[in-house]
Every structure is written in structure tokens, then in C-alpha cells.
Amino acid sequence: MIKTRTYNSFSDSLLQARDYLSKDLEEVNKLILSKLSDKVPLVNGMAGYLIQAGGKRLRPILLLLIARLFSYKGMRHIKLAAAIEFIHTATLLHDDVVDRSTQRRGRPSANAIWGDSSCILVGDFLLSRAFEFVTDDGSLEIMEVLSRMTTSVAEGEIMQLGAIGNLELEEKTLLSDC
């Protein structure tokens, strides 16, 4: 008889995926920490703070799961997972500034600690580092997908900013380019 386990929630499934990918996720975290900045302590301090805050790491986990699904046997997936996490973290930094957030994941937000200008610049650094990873990978297709993705995220944030106070805005307008 095959023994099966029932997962009651998304959180349970995410924990199972993290366990399954623990070695790959450890490699992603090592790469992230190694590619911060030796020259700018602020980058290391802020990024270290954000990494310690945890988070689901859903985007890297999805990429790593897809690599496993297709029996990938290399190291590209580690760099690309780190790139995706850098892009996500950069968008969180920028979003907290735009939204004037003072909290993220139950802790003071980075902009509440280091200020808006620092967060914007560190977010820009993380985006640049992410595209270095992708450039090093050498796949124009991946570069195109991530470029379109980051453009779409920026467009969405700009649309959201322009829609503040517009109570007649329809959901279909916001989702028109998704």
C-alpha cells in the first residue's frame, strides 16, 4: 500500500517544496549573499536585513521546481533563481517607498530604517545585479522574458499610482495587459 500525506494548505505544500529543494535554496542564498557589494556596506546591511526577514521565496522555488521537473542537471537554475529573487526584492523596496510603508512582514520596512533614497538606490542595484546574472547566463530568450516582466511590473505600479482615488476604476482595466 502506498502511503500518502495530505497537505492541508498552500503553506504545507510550500514547506514540502522547501524541504525538497533545501540544497538548491541554500545555494541560491549563498549566491545572493556573495553577489551583494564589497564596496557599499549599505547594500549588504539592507539586503541582509531583508534576507533575514524571510519571505516565502516562492519565485525561486517555482523556478527550481521546474528545473527538477525537467531533470535539469546544471547550475543555471541557481543563478536564475537568485536573479528572480533580486528582482522581486528590488520591487518590494521600490513598492514600500511608493506606498510609504512602514512595515513589511511584521518588521519595520527598509525605507523606515534607511530612508527612501537608500531603498530606491539599493533596489536599483539589485535590479542591475539580477540582469548581470541573466547576461552571464547568455540566453537572450530569458533576458527578453525578464525584461518584459520587469517592464510589466513597472507599468502596473505606475498605473496603480495614477489610479489612486479613482473609485470608478474597473478591474478589467487593471488586468488588461495581464
Say what the alpha-carbon torsion angle 145, 149, 150, 155 is, to the nearest 10 degrees. Answer: 140
Q: Are 118 and 126 in contact (CB under 8 A)?
A: no
Question: Which CATH number does the domain housing residue 160 bear?
Answer: 1.10.600.10
Chain center to CA of 124: 13
Cβ neighbors of 157 (< 8 A, separation 6 or more) are 91, 94, 95, 98
Question: pLDDT 10s digit of each residue in the chain, 178 long?
Answer: 555 655 568 788 888 888 899 999 999 989 998 888 878 899 988 987 887 777 778 999 999 999 999 999 999 999 999 999 999 999 999 999 999 999 988 899 999 999 999 999 999 999 999 999 999 999 999 999 999 999 998 998 888 888 777 777 777 766 665 5
Count of structural domains, the chain: 1
| pLDDT at 95 (0 to 100) | 92
| pLDDT at 105 (0 to 100) | 84
Q: What is the DSSP letter of 47?
A: H
On whether residue 115 sits in a domain, the answer given is yes
Distance CA 137, CA 129 (A): 13
On whether residue 172 sits in a domain, the answer given is no
On whether residue 122 sits in a domain, the answer given is yes
| pLDDT at 13 (0 to 100) | 85
On whether residue 25 sits in a domain, the answer given is yes
SS3 106: coil
**Number of DSSP helices (H) and strands (E) in the chain, helices first:** 9, 2
Residue type, 99: D
Residue type, 108: P
Q: Are 116 and 97 in contact (CB under 8 A)?
A: yes
| pLDDT at 15 (0 to 100) | 86
